[in-house]
C-alpha cells in the first residue's frame, strides 16, 4: 500500500509534464484578455548577466502553460460558482442574473464620487456643443442607455458591497430631460415602462435585448422624422419576437466547465435590408448607404457616436430609414466633429448612463 501511494504521488507530479508533452487530454483553452508570457531568450549571455530575471521570465512562461492549467482553473471557478455562488469577475444575482463586478464596484462609484459641480460642468459642455453644432446646421440627439442594475435592481446579490445611489446619474438625466438646448429620448423611463411586458436585458450578458433596442430605434427614427418637419411616423415594420438559447459575455467571463445559459428574446426579421455596407476611414469606421432603387422618404445624413449598445438598434432595421448612416469608433468629440461628412444633419450621441459622466470626456474645439 505504501509503495502504491508513493508511485501515485510521483505519477501525479509527472502528470502535468506528460500532458504538456503528449496532449493526452483535449482541453478547451481559457479565454483570456491578455497575452501569455513569452519564452525568454535562452542565450547563455542573457542567463549569465541576469539570472534572476531570466528565472522569473521562465517561471511566468511555465505558469501560463503547465499541463492541465486550463482544466484546473475551470474546475476551481466552477466550484466557486456552483457551490458558493462566487466569482472574482461577476456578481451572481438571483435567478441567474449576472452583473459585472468592475462596473458596480469601481466604475459607477467613481462617477458618484464626482462633485455635483463636475456633473453640472459636463452638462454645460454638452449644451455648448449642441449650440455650436446647431449653428452649423447639425442637430445633436443624446441617448443615455441605462445599465442592467438600473432596470433590474431586484436581482442584485448581497455580494454588491454598497450599491451606489444614482445621485449624479439622476442629476444629469434631469438636466438633459429639462434642457431646451439638448434633444434626446428618456431611454430609462421608456424601458422601465416596457419592463412589465418585455425582457429588457439578457440575464447572462451585459447588453440589453434586441427587442428593447427595437423600441428605442423606432422612437428615434420617428423623432428625427418629426424634426424634419413631418407629421406622423416613418417607421413601418413590426416587432416579432423569437426565443433562442444564449450564453452571454458575462457568462463566458467566468472560465467554467460549462457556461450558464438562458432562453432569451431576439428580433425576428420582418424587414428587408435596403442599405449597402461600406468600410469607412476612422473615426467613421462604417458607412451604410441606401440602395439607389429605394423609394419613399429617407432621413438625411446622420452620424452615430456610440458603443456596442447601439448594435441592438442597428439589428432592428434602423439603417433602412437613412440615406447615409455613419458609425464612429472614437470617444473624442473633437475627432468626431472634425470628421463629420459633408451634408451631415444629425449627430446621435449614445452613452452608458452612470459610467461616462465625467467632464474630461467632453473634448472639442472650434
Q: Report the distance separating Cα 58 and Cα 79, nearest Å.
A: 30
Cell numbers 453644432 correspond to 133
- Look at strands 183-185 and 90-92 and give their pairing: unpaired
pLDDT of the chain along its 366 residues, tens only? 888 888 878 777 777 766 676 776 777 777 766 677 777 766 655 555 565 677 777 777 767 776 677 777 788 888 888 888 889 999 999 999 999 999 999 888 888 888 999 899 989 989 999 999 999 999 999 999 999 999 999 999 988 866 656 788 889 999 999 999 999 999 999 999 999 999 999 999 999 999 999 999 999 999 999 999 999 999 999 999 999 999 999 999 999 888 899 999 999 999 999 999 999 999 999 999 999 777 789 999 999 999 999 999 999 999 999 999 999 988 888 889 999 999 999 999 999 887 876 555 556 555
Which H/E stretch holds residue 263? strand 262-267
Residue pair 274/236 in contact (Cβ under 8 Å)? The answer is no
Laid out side by side, the sheet with 324-328 consists of 183-185, 139-145, 346-352, 302-305, 324-328, 284-290, 275-279
Rounded Cα distance between 179 and 186, Å, is 12
Contact at 8 Å (CB) between 239 and 132?
no
Q: Residue 184: its pLDDT value, please?
A: 94
From the CB of residue 297, how many other CB atoms can be counted at a distance below 10 Å?
Answer: 10
What percentage of the chain's residues is helix, strand, coil (to nearest 5)? 45, 15, 40
Digit-coded pLDDT (tens) for 104-149: 998 888 888 889 998 999 899 899 999 999 999 999 999 999 999 9
**What pLDDT was estimated at residue 69?**
78
Q: Where are the alpha helices (DSSP H) in 136-289?
A: 148-151, 167-177, 187-194, 210-227, 249-252
User: Cα–Cα distance between 326 and 317 in angstroms, integer?
Assistant: 15
Model confidence pLDDT, tens digit, residues 201-211? 999 999 999 99
d(CA 217, CA 79): 41
Residue 8 has a pLDDT of 79
* Beta strand pairing call for 183-185 and 262-267: unpaired
Residues in Cβ contact with 97 at an 8 Å cutoff, skipping those fewer than 6 apart: 148, 152, 155, 203
In angstroms, the CA 149 to CA 159 distance is 14
Please state, in angstroms and rounded to a whole number, the distance separating the CA atoms of residues 310 and 82.
33
Q: Cα–Cα distance between 361 and 357 in angstroms, integer?
A: 8
CA distances from 243 to 95, 240, 298, 317 (A): 18, 10, 31, 19
Give the count of alpha carbons within 13 A of 268, CB side only.
7
Cell for 306?
Answer: 456610440
Provide the 8-state DSSP code for 355.
T
Quick one: pLDDT at residue 46? 56
Q: Cα–chain-centroid distance for residue 216?
A: 17
Instruction: Output the pLDDT for position 163.
Output: 61
Q: In the numeric block, which cell numbers belong to residue 159?
A: 455580494
CB 61 within 8 Å of CB 40: yes
* Cβ pair 136, 338 in contact under 8 A: no
Amino acid at each position: 500500500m505504501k509503495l502504491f501511494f508513493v508511485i501515485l504521488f510521483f505519477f501525479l507530479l509527472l502528470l502535468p509534464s506528460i500532458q504538456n508533452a503528449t496532449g493526452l487530454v483535449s482541453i478547451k483553452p481559457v479565454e483570456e484578455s491578455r497575452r501569455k508570457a513569452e519564452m525568454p531568450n535562452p542565450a547563455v549571455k542573457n542567463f549569465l548577466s541576469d539570472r534572476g530575471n531570466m528565472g522569473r521570465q521562465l517561471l511566468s512562461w511555465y505558469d501560463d502553460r503547465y499541463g492541465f492549467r486550463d482544466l484546473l482553473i475551470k474546475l476551481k471557478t466552477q466550484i466557486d460558482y456552483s457551490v458558493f455562488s462566487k466569482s472574482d469577475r461577476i456578481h451572481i444575482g438571483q435567478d441567474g442574473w449576472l452583473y459585472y463586478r468592475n462596473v458596480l464596484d469601481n466604475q459607477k462609484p467613481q462617477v458618484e464620487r464626482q462633485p455635483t459641480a463636475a456633473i453640472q460642468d459636463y452638462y454645460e459642455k454638452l449644451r455648448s456643443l449642441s449650440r455650436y453644432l446647431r449653428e452649423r446646421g447639425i442637430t445633436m440627439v443624446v441617448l443615455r442607455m441605462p445599465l442592467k442594475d438600473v432596470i433590474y435592481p431586484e436581482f442584485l446579490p448581497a455580494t454588491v458591497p454598497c450599491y451606489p445611489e444614482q445621485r449624479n446619474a439622476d442629476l444629469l438625466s434631469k438636466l438633459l430631460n429639462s434642457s431646451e438646448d439638448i434633444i434626446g429620448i428618456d431611454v430609462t423611463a421608456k424601458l422601465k415602462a416596457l419592463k412589465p411586458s418585455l425582457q429588457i436585458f439578457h440575464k447572462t450578458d451585459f447588453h440589453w435585448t434586441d427587442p428593447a433596442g427595437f423600441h428605442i430605434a423606432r422612437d428615434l427614427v420617428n423623432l428625427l422624422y418629426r424634426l424634419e418637419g413631418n407629421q406622423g411616423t416613418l417607421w413601418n415594420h413590426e416587432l416579432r419576437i423569437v426565443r433562442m438559447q444564449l450564453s452571454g459575455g458575462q457568462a463566458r467571463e467566468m472560465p467554467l466547465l460549462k457556461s450558464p445559459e438562458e432562453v432569451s428574446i431576439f428580433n425576428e426579421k420582418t424587414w428587408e435590408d435596403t442599405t449597402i455596407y461600406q468600410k469607412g476611414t476612422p473615426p467613421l469606421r462604417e458607412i451604410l448607404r441606401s440602395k439607389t432603387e429605394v423609394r419613399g422618404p429617407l432621413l438625411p445624413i446622420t452620424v452615430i457616436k456610440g458603443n456596442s449598445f447601439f448594435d441592438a438598434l442597428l439589428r432592428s432595421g434602423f439603417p433602412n430609414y437613412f440615406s447615409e448612416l455613419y458609425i464612429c469608433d472614437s470617444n473624442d468629440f473633437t475627432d468626431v466633429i472634425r470628421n463629420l461628412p459633408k451634408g451631415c444633419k444629425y449627430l446621435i450621441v449614445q452613452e452608458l448612463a452612470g459610467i461616462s459622466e465625467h467632464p474630461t470626456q467632453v473634448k472639442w474645439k472650434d
